[in-house]
Amino acid sequence: MNCEVFQLNELEIEHFEIREVLRCILHTIIFHRALGLVRPKDVDLELFDITYVQCGEVEVEMKIEEKIEQFICWVEKHPNKKSQICLSFYEVKNKQASWFSNRIERLYWEQWYINLNVAQHLKSHSSKSHHSKVSDPREEGVLEDRNARSAALEVSLRNVLFQIIKFVNEKKDHVPPIPNLEGAISFPYEITIPSSSDSAFGMDIIKRMLQTGHPTMLS
């Protein structure tokens, strides 16, 4: 089974936008891969005039929130770095136990790379929603810039969502058959964020390669 890798367009975001942007992208991807019975849930973003769809599973939402938290922590420790979040889908295969790996093997069949460039210089505005922007009118120009930037980001984010939809549409053959499972989530998935240090992130990948035994999948 080959592993499809999708690289999503890089988004230039500010710290306070991380949460919404990631939610929107991660949920949209997972919705397209939740092939069990789904009761979709529409969610409006606060910062942008965008509605995205969640698959309505509480566990998914919790997992995503948790990962976003971790990512935000990482970003705070590593300012001004481009970062990549990877959402991978895999199948689980039982495998003969060997001396260095688990019995369970993960066969990755799809990976989505979300590319973010988090700008730090405007961090003072973080945690404020766009409603409060007006309350801090240091300069007219700054405000206009911010609005223009925000509008541009909205367009980019929308494009990323379209990108996801296009990928989903173009590549369907690699998706494993829908298992007969209860619940919406039909395939296991994992969200990988850069770990606390880059070397550890690298280690993570090596570990995973060792585990799966399919290094080619990681492109």
Partner 1 sequence: MMTSSPTHTEAAKTEQIITEFFAKSLHIILESRALSASSRNFSTLSSPSSTSSSSSSSVRPRDKWFNLALRECPTALENADLWRHNNLHPIVVDIVLVHRIMQLDLKVRNPFEEFGVGGSQSEKIVERWVIQYESRKTRDCSNSSSSSSSSTRRSSSTFLQNLYKKATLLIRSLYATVRILPAYKIFKELNSSANVCAFTLAHRVSTFFEPFTSKQESEMLKFVFTPVNTLFGRLCLSVMYCQCVSDVSSESSSTPLSPRVITDYVGSPMTERLMRFPSLPVVPVRLPLHGSPSSLPFSRRHSWSFENGRGSPPSVNYCSPSPTHSELNTLVSNASYQCYPPPSSLPHHPSEMALLHKKNVNFDDYYPSPNFSPSPSPSPSSPIYHLGSLASKTLLRSESAPVNIPNAEVANSPGHTSRHNLPPSTPIRISRCTSETDGSRNLMQLCTPAEKMCSLRKDESQKYSGVKIVPNSSPQISFSRSSSRSYQDDFDDTDFICPFDVDDDDTTDPGSRAESFDPGDMTQLLEAGRFLPIRKSQGAVVGALVNMLKKAAPLHQDFSSTCENISRPETQKSNKVQGPNQIPDTLSAPSIMCSGNRKTTSDALEEFRSYREMKNMLLKPRGGNSNQQI
Shortest approach of partner 1 to residue 36 CB, angstroms? 6
Q: In terms of CB distance, is 30 or 193 closer to partner 1?
A: 30
Q: In terms of CB distance, is 25 or 208 closer to partner 1?
A: 25
Q: Are the C-beta atoms of 91 and 9 separated by less than 8 Å?
A: no
Q: In terms of CB distance, is 46 or 69 closer to partner 1?
A: 46
Shortest approach of partner 1 to residue 35 CB, angstroms? 6
* Residue of 91, 62, 75, 87 whose CA lies nearest to 6: 87
Residue 177 DSSP code? P
For residues 203 and 157, what is the distance between their CA atoms, to the nearest angstrom?
Answer: 31
Q: Where do contacts with partner 1 occur on this chain (CB under 8 A)? A: 28, 31-32, 35-44, 46, 49-53, 56-58, 129, 131, 158, 161-162, 164-165, 168-170, 172, 175, 177-178, 182-184
Shortest approach of partner 1 to residue 78 CB, angstroms? 25
Q: In terms of CB distance, is 189 or 194 closer to partner 1?
A: 189
Phi-psi region of 213 (alpha: psi -120 to 50; beta: other; left: phi over 0): left
Helices 18-33 & 58-77, crossing angle to 10 degrees? 140
Shortest approach of partner 1 to residue 142 CB, angstroms? 23
For residues 184 and 31, what is the distance between their CA atoms, to the nearest angstrom?
Answer: 9
